[in-house]
Amino acid sequence: MANHKSALKRIRSDEKKRQRNRFQHKTTRNAIRDFKSLTKKKEAQKKIPFIISMIDKLAKKNIIHSNKAANLKSKITKHASSL
């Protein structure tokens, strides 16, 4: 266990960041899952900007890799156009 005050603070802040990252990543995954279950093109077109924004935020904060973000956005737009 850490002995210094700064190390203890670092442990606390790291845990908060980890929880926030997990929440944001899980929320985005759920939004993508719900999007893939859509069957109407009009609804899908409405949700695309919101989901792409979520993915971009994850990539910007290095929660996911930028290439993964690009792949996800590509799959989302491909799915929407196939409806």
List the CATH number of the domain containing 56: 1.20.58.110
Q: Reply yes or no on whether the pLDDT at 2 is more than 80.
A: no
Q: Reply yes or no on whether the pLDDT at 13 is more than 90.
A: yes
61 three-state secondary structure: coil
Tally of structural domains, the chain: 1
How far is it, in rounded angstroms, from Cα 41 to Cα 47? 10
In this prediction the pTM is 0.83
Please choose, from the candidates 24, 8, 19, the residue with its C-alpha nearest in 3D space to the C-alpha of residue 64: 24
**Containing domain of residue 19, as a range?**
5-82
| Predicted local distance difference test score (pLDDT) of residue 3 | 82
Per-residue confidence at 83, pLDDT binned at 50, 70, 90?
Answer: confident
Q: What is the pLDDT of residues 30-81, one digit of tens each?
A: 999 999 999 999 999 999 999 999 999 999 999 999 999 999 999 999 999 9
